[in-house]
Structure 1
Amino acid sequence: MTRRTRTLLIATLLVVAAAVPAVGAAGTAAQTAPDDGYAGVGESTAALGADDAASAQTGAACEFPVTVTDATGTDVTIDERPERITTLNPSAAQTMWEIGGESQVVGVSQFALYLDGADSRTNVSAAGFGVSVEKVVGTNPDLVLAPNASSPDTVQSLRDAGLTVFHFSGSTTIEDVREKTALTGRLTGNCEGAAEANAWMDANVETATEATADAEDKRVLYPLGGGYIAGSGTFISAMIDTAGGTNVAAERDLTGYPQINDEVVLELAPEYLVVTGYSSYLVGEEPYASTPAVQNNNTVRVNRNWMNQPAPRSVVMGVRTLAEGFHPEAAAEADFATRADAVAAMETETPTATESQPITDTTPETRTTSAGATEISGPGFGVALAVLAVLGSALLARRER
C-alpha cells in the first residue's frame, strides 16, 4: 500500500468521524484515543450527589437506585445493580475489567477483544464504523455504556429501543480518567473495584512524576499516520507529560488530533517519537526519518491499547513505558506499585464531593492553527479521532504482516 493510499484511507476515516459530533478521542477542548478519549464537562463524580460521589471515590458499597446526568443532559436512573452490561468502546470495556465487573459484560466492540475472555462476549461492532444497534439490542442489556465516540443518533436509537444508555463525555486528562472510572463503578455497582483501580493508577502516576521531576523533559511527538498527530490537550499528551516528556505540538498550538504537513514535522524536530506496532513503519519514511528522534534512535514503542484507551490500566502501563523510554535510568530506580500494594495503601478518608456541574455541549468546529494545520475540535471529538486513527492503523497494519 502506497503512502498516498494510506493517507487517503485515514483521511476518509476522519471525514466519517467529522460527521459524528459525539465521537470521541482527543479534541481540542474535549476527548479520546485510538481507541478513544477526552475532556467533557460534568462527566464524573461531579455529576453525582455528595453521598454517591463519596462512595465512588472511596470504595464504599454502592447503593441503588442511582440517578446521574449524562453527556446528553439526560437523567439516567438505574434502579438496581445491572447484571447485563454492553460496552460500546474499548476503554469502557477495559474499565469494567479493571474494576471487577467483567462478569457483568455481555457485549463489547471489536477493539476490546484483546481483553481476557472478551471473545466470549457478543461483538456489537457494525460492519463498518461504529456499532450495530441491532446487535446491541440483541444482547438484552440492563445498561449500555456509550463513549463520547458514540453519535447522539446511535444513543437515541438505543433509547428508542427501550434500553438504558449512559453517554459519557470525553477524557483529556488523567484526572478525567480517574473520575470516569469512579463513575463507571457507581453506575455498575463496582465502587470498591473502581476505588482500587484508581488507587493503583494514582500510585503509578505519582511515582512516574516524582521519578522524572529532576530530569529535563524530552521533546516528544506521537504520529498517527496520514499526517495526523496527537496534539496537546489530549489524554495522550497528558501521559507524555506525566512520564517526563513534553508534547512538541504545544509549541505550535496544535491541539486535539490535527493533520500537519511534512515541513511542520521537520520544524518541530522532536527528540523522541512514540509509536505503536501499527505506526512503527513511519520511522522509516519521510518526514519522520529525518527527525532528530529517528536519527538518534530515540523511538519509544508502546502497546496501542495503553496509548489510546483512556482507562486505568492504560495509564499505568502507558506512563511506565513512556517513562522507561524517555528516562530509563530514573525509571529503573522508581518503585512502581503493584495493584496489591496500591490497594493496601489506600487512604480511608472520604473526600469531599465536588459540587455538581451542568453538562454542556457544543458543536465541533474546524479552525486553522498558527502552524497552518487543520484541526477539528469540540466535546467528544478528540476520542473519536483517536479511535479512527487506531482503526486506520489496524487496516494499514496489513502492510506489516
Structure 2
Amino acid sequence: MKAKLTTKVLHKRWLAAILSLALAASLAGCGSAVKTPGQGELANPPKADGTKQEGAASTAKRTSYPLKVKDATGKEFVFEKAPERIASTSPSETEALFALGLGDKVVGVSDFCDYPAEAKSKSKMGSIVKPNEEALIAANADLVMTGVSMKTQVVDKLRELKINMFKVEPKTLDDVMNNLLMMGQIFDRQEQAQKLVDSMKADRQKVVDAVKDLKPEQKKKVFIEFSPGWTVGKGEFIDELITLSGGINVAGSEKGYVQISEEKIIADNPQVIIYPNGIIDDKSKKPMDQLIRERSGWDKIEAVRSGKLVGVDKDLISRPGPRITAGLVEIAKGIYPDLVK
C-alpha cells in the first residue's frame, strides 16, 4: 500500500521542485551549458499567434504520418503513428496530456504530478529533475515527455538507456501554446489542442484588454516571491505574466530566477506583492504572507503598508502548461481588481 503524503511533505516537494527549476535555469546561462536550439519544430507548424501558413497542418483534423518533429534539444523524432504508451516526468506536460484527452494512454508520471486528480493514480517515475531510471524503463513507454526542470545532460543520459525522451522548454506563453499544438500533432489530437489554445488566447486577451488603457504612471510596481527568498526577472514566463497584467516587475532588471535582496526590494518599494498560497517556509516555519510582513524594514514597503499582498495558486503560476493563462488572470486580478473581473 502506498503511503499517504502529508500536506507538509507535498509543500516541501513543491518547494524542491520550483527551486530545482530555478537552479536549472540559472545554470543554463553559465559557462559551457548546452543551449536549447528551439522549442520544437514541425514542418509548416501551427502558430499560437494566429498566423496562418499555407498548408499548415493545424487546419487538418487528423495527423498525417510519418511525422518529423524536433524537440527543444534539437533531436529529430520520426513518428510512424501516434504514441500509444506515454509517460511524463513534468507536471506541466502531464496536465497537457490529460487536457488533450490522453489520460488513458499515460502509463507513468513524476512524483509531483497531481493534476488532474486522475494523474495521482498513475505509476510514479520519480523526480522531475532526475527521475527513477528503473521505473522509466519498466514503464516501456513509446514516448516520455519532459519539461523545463530537466537539464539536457540528464535527458541525454536517459536516451543512452533507450528511453525515448522528448523535451520541451517553454519560456513564453506563446511557447506553451505552440507546444500544445505540437503535441496535438504528435498524438493526433489537433482539434483538442486547438480548442485549448483558443481558450488560453481568450484568457490572455481578456487581461490585455482590461489593462490596455493604463497610462505608464498608472502601472503598479510588482514584486513576486514564488518561493521563499526567490524571485524572477526577465526571460521567463512568470515575468511575462506580470507584464501582460499591466504590472512592472521590480526584478525586471535581473535575468531568470534569482535570490532576492531584501534591501533592494525595500528600495524598489513595490505597490503589490504576489506570493503562492499554502507555502510554509522551511527555515522559519511561517506561511509566506507572514514571512513577508515580518521581515525587517518591510513594513515601510507600500504593498505591506496598504495590505496589497496577493496570494495566488502556486501551480497556476509555476507550471507552463494549459492552466498558465488561468494563472495570468489570477495575477491580473490581484494587481488591478477593479479592472480585471
Q: Common fold, TM-score beyond 0.5? A: yes
TM-superposed CA distance for 1:203, in Å, is: 0.8
Tell me what 1:330 maps to: 339
CA distance in 1, matches of 2:151, 2:267: 36
Superposition map of 1:276-291 within 5 A: 276-277=276-277, 278=279, 279-287=288-296, 288-291=298-301
Structure 2 matches for 1:170-319, cutoff 5 A? 170-215=169-214, 216-250=218-252, 253-277=253-277, 278=279, 279-287=288-296, 288-315=298-325, 317-319=326-328
Structure 1 Cα separation of the partners of residues 187 and 329 of structure 2: 29
Q: Which amino acid aligns with 1:212?
A: V
Q: Is the CA contact 2:227–2:276 (under 8 Å) kept in the aligned structure 1?
A: no
Q: Deviations over 1:346-371 (max 9, x none)?
A: xxxxxxxxxxxxxxxxxxxxxxxxxx
Partner of 2:99: 98
1:102 Cα offset (Å): 2.1
Q: Structure 1 residues 117 and 195 mapped into 2: Cα distance closer, same or farther (>3 Å)? A: same
Shift of 1:51: 6.7
Distance 1:83 1:244 in 2: 42
1:316-372: CA deviation from partner (whole Å, max 9, x where unpaired): x1122122212222222xxxxxxxxxxxxxxxxxxxxxxxxxxxxxxxxxxxxxxxx
- Amino acid corresponding to residue 310 of structure 2 in structure 1: V
Give 1:43's aligned residue. 39
1:123-134 aligned within 5 A: 123-126=124-127, 130-134=130-134
Equivalent pair of 1:52/1:186 in contact (CA under 8 Å): no
Structure 2 counterpart SS, 1:275? strand
Secondary structure of the corresponding residue to residue 111 of structure 1: coil
The residue type equivalent to 2:291 in the other structure is: L
Partner of residue 110, structure 1: 111
Judged with a 3 Å threshold, the aligned counterparts in structure 2 of structure 1 residues 51 and 118 are, in CA distance, closer, same or farther, namely closer
Letter in 1 for 2:183: T
Q: Is residue 26–residue 233 contact of structure 1 (8 Å, CA) maintained in 2?
A: no
Shift in CA distance, 290/102, structure 1 to aligned 2, threshold 3 Å: farther
Q: Which moved more, 1:203-212 or 1:66-75?
A: 66-75
- CA distance in 2 between partners of 1:112 and 1:293 (Å): 33
Name the CA distance, whole Å, in 1 between partners of 2:92 and 2:25: 11
Is the contact made by 2:210 and 2:339 (CA closer than 8 Å) also made in structure 1? Answer: yes
**Distance change >3 Å, CA 85–CA 93, structure 1 → 2:** same
Residue 156 of structure 2 corresponds to residue 159 of structure 1: no
1:235 maps to amino acid: F
Amino acid at match of 2:194: A
Deviations 1:51-94 (A, max 9, x none): 77766644632222212122322211222111111111111111
8 Å CA contact 1:55–1:191 kept in 2: the answer is no
Q: State the secondary structure of the residue aligned to 2:303.
A: helix
- Mean CA deviation greater in 265-274 or 157-166: 157-166
CA contact (8 A) 1:241 1:247 kept: yes
Give 1:42 deviation, angstroms. Answer: 2.2
1:270 Cα deviation after fit: 0.8
Structure 2: gaps (5+ residues) = 1-14, 48-54, 280-287
Write the deviation string for residues 11-35 of structure 1: whole angstroms up to 9, x where unpaired: 9x968975xxxx4599779xxxxxx
Does the CA-based 8 Å contact 1:59-1:194 persist in structure 2? no
Contact (CA 8 Å) 1:64, 1:80: kept in 2 or not? yes
Give 3-state SS (helix, strand or coil) of 2:251's partner. helix
Q: Which amino acid aligns with 1:62?
A: T
Is residue 69–residue 76 contact of structure 1 (8 Å, CA) maintained in 2?
yes
Does the 8 Å contact 2:36/2:74 carry over to 1? no
Match of 1:67, SS state, is strand
CA distance in 2 between counterparts of 1:301 and 1:119 reads 25
Output the CA distance in 2 between the equivalents of 1:141 and 1:282: 43
- The CA deviation at 1:264 is 0.8
**Identity in percent:** 26
Shift of 1:107: 1.1
SS in 1 for 2:226: strand
- Computed over aligned residues only, the root mean square deviation of the Cα atoms, in angstroms, reads 2.9
Alpha-carbon distance in structure 1 between the residues aligned to 2:304 and 2:251 = 17
* 2:107 is the counterpart of 1:139: no
Retained in 1: the 8 A contact 2:91–2:115? no
- Residue 184 (structure 1) shift: 1.8
- Contact 2:22–2:257 (CA under 8 A) maintained in structure 1: no
Contact 2:68–2:78 under 8 Å retained in 1: yes
Tell me how far 1:155 sits from its aligned partner: 1.8
Q: Distance in 1 between matches of 2:95 and 2:273?
A: 26
* Distance in structure 1 (CA, Å) of the matches to 2:80 and 2:260: 48
Q: 1:231 to 1:51 in 2, by over 3 A?
A: closer
Secondary structure, aligned partner of 1:60? coil
| Alignment partners' CA distance in 2, 1:52 and 1:208 | 24
Amino acid at match of 2:250: V
Structure 1: tracts of 5 or more residues without a match: 1-9, 30-38, 333-401
Q: State the alpha-carbon separation in 2 of the partners of residues 56 and 301 from structure 1.
A: 40
